A and B are shown apart, each in its own frame.
Chain A
């Protein structure tokens, strides 16, 4: 059971790191969102969400490219915050995998690496190339 305690205490460290990650991504999103807020509300009054009443597909890559060209840093920052957030649980799975490897728990390390691969596959499917 000593092995198990060590595993849990390391996993605890990972989770504390995640909590900091959430704060960092939250801070980035807050700055970005405040920036977009100034823009959307300076532009026109009324419902800024009205454009989202109908769904129109525009891939992330395209959105970022156009935000980049327009020099819209609040939007880029918002995306950065979202990306950091998404990366957090993936980092957790990766670190857990490393942990199992170090403890010579080969089957569970394999299981964790499958989870990680599935997560990457899922992101890849979102790209829709």
Chain B
């Protein structure tokens, strides 16, 4: 019964995640910890495994639209992977109650971010590093299909932001897409579609750094991680196909309420210790 419940919840998590553009971890970690009472450290490790699965499966799709900036992704991965290593090392000495608290705050932030307006601020000049590595690129305008050229600003700030995104990813078992996108939109001034696609493309590598480390440490339990990964792969596959036919605005509003409730529960659990 419990195993079936876990698979069903993971299918649902993957489904919802792909509709809302969020990772499954945001749903799975609270379910594992609050309902099944699994220790949060096992939940985090299992969640990272499913992030690796979904992002590796989806990478081809992101590349197809010519929105992913491959060169920039590789550079920024240095930041995210270094951050993930730090997160993994810190995680060893961090108390479970602190992780609950941090996760709760992250959920609150995610709820707020779901309704933020993303302003398009386009950089006019390449940062010197971007110039040297030829990081600027082109993307097709959705209406006319004409190629629009863009430049990349503030590369060092972007790298530092990626470091923190990677750290949170390893600590909480999340993809950290929200933070990556915010840094690329805000600091590096990339076109929104380019930052979303590039962020998604990077998530798999970021999660692999910590998922691999957790696997070797014995924190990834196959009894939890395998059904979860399978459910999420299946759920997100279905979600991606149904998405165009769903009123995502309504789903989004309902989900924000759920996020807020779960955030409160995680925070309370964190405070109670």
Distance in angstroms between the alpha carbons of A121 and B45 in the assembled complex? 18
Say yes or no: B214 contacts A126, CB within 8 Å: yes
Q: Is A41 on the interface with B (CB-CB < 8 A)? A: yes
Count of A interface residues, CB-CB < 8 Å: 68
Partner of A92, one of B42, B59, B214, B217: B59
Give bound CA distance, A44 to B234, whole Å. Answer: 28
Say whether A127 contacts B216, CB under 8 Å.
yes
Q: A111-B78, A119-B209 are in contact. Are A52 and B49 (CB under 8 A)?
A: no
* A119→B214 contact, CB < 8 A: no
Report whether A75 and B222 are in contact in the complex, using a CB–CB cutoff of 8 Å.
yes
Are the C-beta atoms of A96 and B56 separated by less than 8 Å?
no
Determine whether A69 belongs to the interface, using a CB cutoff of 8 Å to chain B: no
- Total chain B interface residues with beta-carbon distance under 8 A: 64
Bits for B41-79, please: 1 = Cβ < 8 Å to A, else 0: 110000001001101110110111010001100110110
Report B-chain residues with C-beta under 8 Å of the C-beta of A90: 208, 212
A contacts with B: majority SS: helix
Q: Flag if B205 contacts A40 (CB, 8 Å).
A: no
Return A13 CB to nearest CB of chain B, in Å. Answer: 9
Q: How far is A83 from B63 in the complex, measured between Cα atoms in Å?
A: 25
Question: Does A8 have its Cβ within 8 Å of any Cβ on chain B?
Answer: yes
How far does the Cβ of A107 sit from chain B's closest Cβ, in whole Å?
Answer: 6
Give 10 new A-B contacts, CB below 8 A, not counting A37-B3, A59-B216. Answer: A15-B62, A29-B230, A33-B226, A48-B2, A59-B217, A60-B215, A63-B218, A92-B204, A123-B216, A127-B216
Provide 16 A-B residue pairs closer than 8 Å at the C-beta atoms, listed in order of the A residue: A19-B56, A30-B230, A48-B223, A52-B221, A60-B215, A75-B222, A82-B49, A85-B229, A86-B212, A88-B52, A90-B208, A93-B205, A96-B74, A122-B88, A123-B213, A126-B88
Residues of A bordering B, CB below 8 Å: 1, 4, 7-8, 11-12, 15-16, 18-19, 21-23, 25-26, 29-30, 32-33, 36-37, 40-41, 47-50, 52-55, 57-63, 75, 78-79, 81-83, 85-86, 88-90, 92-93, 96, 100, 107-108, 111-112, 114-115, 118-119, 121-123, 125-128
Identify the 3 closest CB pairs spanning chains A and B, nearest first: A126-B216, A126-B213, A78-B222
